[in-house]
Chains A and B, each alone.
Chain A
Amino acid sequence: MGRLTLGYFLRRFSIFLVTIWLAATLIWIIPRLAPGDPITAMVGRMIRQAGYVENSDIIIEGWRERFGLNDSLPVQYVRYLGNLVRMDFGYSLAYFPTTVGEIVGRALPWTVGLLLVAVTITFFLGNFLGALLAWRGTPKLVKYLIPVGMIFTSIPSILAAIFLLYIFAFFLDWFPLTGAYKAGMTPSLSIEFITSVIHHGTLPALSVVLVSFGYWALGMRGMMITVEGEDYMHLARAKGLNPLYVLYRYMIRNAILPQVTAFAITLGTLVSGQVLVEYIFAYQGMGNVIFSALRNQDFPVIQGTSFILILMTALAVLIIDLIYPLIDPRISYERS
Chain B
Amino acid sequence: MTTSWNQPPVLKVRGLKVYYETPKGDVLAVDGVNFDLFKGETLGLVGESGCGKSTAAMGILQLVTPPGRVVDGEVLLEGHNLLGMSEQALRAVRWIKLALIPQGAMNSLNPTMKVSAQIKDAIIAHEGKQANKGIKPRILELLTMVGLPGRVYDLYPHELSGGMKQRVCIAMAIALNPTVIIADESTSALDVVVQRVVAQTMLKVKDALGVSMIMIGHDMGLMAQMVDRIAVMYAGKIVEIAPVKEMFAEPKHPYSQLLIESVPSLKERKPLKITEGITHDPRNPPPGCIFQLRCPFVMDICRVQPPVMRETNEGQLVACHLYPESVDGSLINVADVARNP
Indicate which residue in A230, A239, A257, A330 contacts B122 across the interface (CB closer than 8 Å).
A239
Q: Which residue of B lies closest to A230 (CB)?
A: B107
Indicate which residue in A2, A232, A242, A243 contacts B110 across the interface (CB closer than 8 Å).
A232
CB distance from A328 to the nearest CB of B (A): 7
Indicate which residue in A232, A240, A330 contacts B125 across the interface (CB closer than 8 Å).
A240
| Cα of A236 to Cα of B94 in the assembled complex, Å | 10
Q: Are B110 and A330 in contact (CB under 8 A)?
A: no
For residue A253, CB closer than 8 A to chain B, the reply is yes
- A249 proximity list for chain B (CB < 8 A): 110, 113, 121
For residue A235, CB closer than 8 A to chain B, the reply is yes
Indicate which residue in A230, A240, A242, A328 contacts B95 across the interface (CB closer than 8 Å).
A240
Please tell me the size bucket of the interface on A: 20 to 34
For residue A196, CB closer than 8 A to chain B, the reply is no
The majority secondary structure among interface residues of chain B is: mixed
The majority secondary structure among interface residues of chain A is: helix
Q: Are B121 and A329 in contact (CB under 8 A)?
A: no
Indicate which residue in A2, A231, A243, A253 contacts B102 across the interface (CB closer than 8 Å).
A231
For residue B293, CB closer than 8 A to chain A, the reply is no
- B200 proximity list for chain A (CB < 8 A): none
For residue A241, CB closer than 8 A to chain B, the reply is yes
For residue A254, CB closer than 8 A to chain B, the reply is yes
CB distance from A41 to the nearest CB of B (A): 56
- A230 proximity list for chain B (CB < 8 A): 107
Q: Are A330 and B121 in contact (CB under 8 A)?
A: no
| Cα of A237 to Cα of B100 in the assembled complex, Å | 10
For residue A333, CB closer than 8 A to chain B, the reply is yes
Q: Are B90 and A240 in contact (CB under 8 A)?
A: yes
- A238 proximity list for chain B (CB < 8 A): 61, 63, 94-95, 98-100, 102
Q: Are A241 and B125 in contact (CB under 8 A)?
A: yes
Q: Are B158 and A330 in contact (CB under 8 A)?
A: yes
Indicate which residue in A240, A327, A333 contacts B112 across the interface (CB closer than 8 Å).
A327
Chosen A-B contacts, 19 in total, with CB atoms closer than 8 Å, are A230-B107, A231-B105, A231-B108, A232-B107, A232-B108, A234-B100, A237-B63, A238-B95, A240-B94, A240-B95, A240-B122, A241-B91, A241-B121, A245-B121, A254-B110, A328-B111, A328-B112, A329-B158, A330-B156
Given contacts A235-B169, A245-B125, A330-B158, 17 further A-B contacts (CB under 8 A): A231-B108, A232-B109, A234-B63, A234-B102, A237-B94, A238-B61, A238-B94, A238-B99, A239-B94, A239-B95, A240-B90, A240-B92, A240-B93, A240-B94, A243-B87, A329-B111, A329-B112
